[in-house]
Amino acid sequence: MKIESVDFFYLAMPVIEDIGDGSQDALLVRVRAGRHEGWGECEAAPLPTIAAFVCPMSHSACKPVSASVLGQELDGPADIARIGDLVRANSLDLPQADHALSGIDIAMWNLLGRKRGEPVWKLLGYKEARPRIPYASMLFGDKPSDTMAKARRMVERGFSAVKLGWGPYGRETAEQDEDQVEAAREAVGPDVWIMVDAGTVWGDDVAAARRRLKALERNRVTWLEEPFVSGALPAYRKLASSCRRLRLAGGEGSHDFHSARQMIDQGGIGFIQIDAGRIGGITVAKRVADYAVRHGVTYVNHTFTSHLALSASLQPYAGLERNALCEYPMEPKPLAVELTREHLDRDSRGMVRAPDAPGLGISPDPAAIRKYLVETEIRVGGRVAYRTPAV
C-alpha cells in the first residue's frame, strides 16, 4: 500500500509555563495508507517540525521530509527503515528532520501493527513485552527535609524506584548535596532504587562532579544522570572511570543513531536514555537498543509526555531481559493525560509494560485533539504550505 497522507496536529495547553515540563504541548502525526491509519508523536517543538515537513526544497540534500515519505510503499518493517534512510539522505542539511521523522516512524509502526493485529514489539522481533519498574521522577526539595517528604510520598504511592533531580542539587556545596541524597535514601529505605539527575549542572567540570561521587556511592544511587552537557564525552569518560558501583546515564538529546553510539562508545555510560520521539522513531531507537546490548550498556526509555509517546518509547527494548527500569511520566499536564483513550497504568505489582495489543495499543482521543488544537497556517510565496488539517 502507498502512504496517502501525513497530517500534523499541534496541540498546546492554554498557557505554557517557563518550566522544564515537556508535556505542555504536543505534536501528533497521523499517517494513512490503504484503508489503514496510525498515530505517532514527536517529542519536538511543533512549528519548526511542521515546517521541516512542508518547506520547499533548498537543494538535493535539503528537501522537506514530505518528499521522502508521501507516496512511498509501506508494506512491512523494511519499508519503514528504507523511508527513514531516505529522509536522512534527502534532508541531510535539515537538522529538524529527525524530529519530524520520529513521529512519522512511530505512526508507521503503529499503522503496520494495527493492520496485522500485532503489537509493535512483536514486529520488532521480541517474543514478549517484559515488565518494567516505573521510576517516579521528581525535583529535589529546597531542603533535605523537603526531599525526604517528597520521596516518602512516592514510596507511599507504590513506587519502588525514584529519580531526584535539578532543584538545588549541584548548585550548592558537595556537603549540602550529600545531605540531600542521604535524606532521599533515609526516606525510601534500603530497597528502593534511587537515581539522581544532575541536569548538566557541571557543564564539563569533572572535578566538581567527582566531589559528589562518594555520597552517591554510599547511598547506593543506581545512576547519575547528565552530569555534563551532551557532547562533553571526554568529561563523561573521565568521571565514569572514577565510579565504583555508580553508573552514568545520558542520551535523551540524541537525535540520531550516531550521537547515541558516540555516547556509548566514548562516554563510559552505564545507561543510555533514548526518546523514540526524538531520535528518529522506533526504528533508530531499536538500533540503539541492539547496539547497547552488544556493548554492555543498559537501554532505558526517556519519556515525559503522553502514554502514546510512552508506549512508543517502551517498544524498542520491550523484550530485553536485563533492563529493569522505565521512565514513567509522573505529573503530566491535562493535555498529555486527556490525549489518549487508553493509559499504561501500573499493574497490581506496580509494573508497567508495552501493551499486548495491536500497534502501540494506545490511541488518541479526537475530542482531546480538538480541545487543545492550535490552528496554524504557513504560506510561502502565495501558496498554503500547511494548514491545520481536519481531525
In this structure, what C-alpha cell is assigned to residue 159? 513506587
Q: Which of 2, 5, 60, 295 binds a copy of itself (CB under 8 A)?
A: 60
Q: Does 99 bind a copy of itself (CB under 8 A)?
A: yes
State the CB neighbour count (10 A cutoff) for residue 110: 31
**Sign of CA pseudo-dihedral 253, 257, 258, 260:** positive
DSSP for residue 234: H
What does the alpha-carbon distance between residue 279 and residue 275 come to, in Å, rounded to a whole number? 6
Indicate which single residue of 3, 44, 74, 83 sits in contact with a copy of itself (rule: CB under 8 A).
44
Report d(CA 359, CA 5) in Å as an integer: 19
Q: How many CB atoms lie within 10 A of CB 156?
A: 8
Selected binder of a copy of itself within 1, 32, 262, 293 (CB under 8 A): 262
Please tell me whether residue 50 binds a copy of itself under the rule CB under 8 A: yes
Q: With binding defined as CB under 8 A, does residue 70 bind a copy of itself?
A: no
CA max distance for the chain: 65
257 binds a copy of itself (CB under 8 A): yes
Does residue number 24 form part of the binding site for a copy of itself (CB under 8 A)? yes
Cβ distance to a copy of itself smaller for residue 160 or 262? 262
Question: Pairing state of beta strands 25-33 and 3-12?
Answer: antiparallel
Look at residues 88, 23, 127 and name the one whose alpha carbon lies nearest to residue 340.
Answer: 23
| Binding residues among 231-250 for a copy of itself as defined by CB under 8 A | 231-234
Q: Smallest distance from the beta carbon of 113 to a copy of itself, in angstroms?
A: 28
Q: Does 294 bind a copy of itself (CB under 8 A)?
A: no
> Please, which of residues 300-359 interact with a copy of itself by CB under 8 A?
none
Given a contact cutoff of 8 angstroms between Cβ atoms, the answer to whether 315 and 354 are in contact is: yes
- Interface mask (CB under 8 A) for a copy of itself, residues 214-233, using x and -? ---------------xxxxx
Determine, following the binding rule CB under 8 A, whether residue 95 of this chain makes contact with a copy of itself.
yes
* The three three-digit cell numbers of residue 149, written as one number: 517528604
CB of 58 to a copy of itself, least distance (A): 5
Which residues are registered as beta bridge partners of 223? Answer: 247
Sites of contact with a copy of itself (CB under 8 A): 10, 12, 16, 18-22, 24-25, 43-52, 54-62, 92-96, 98-99, 229-234, 253, 255-259, 261-262, 265-266, 278, 374-382, 385
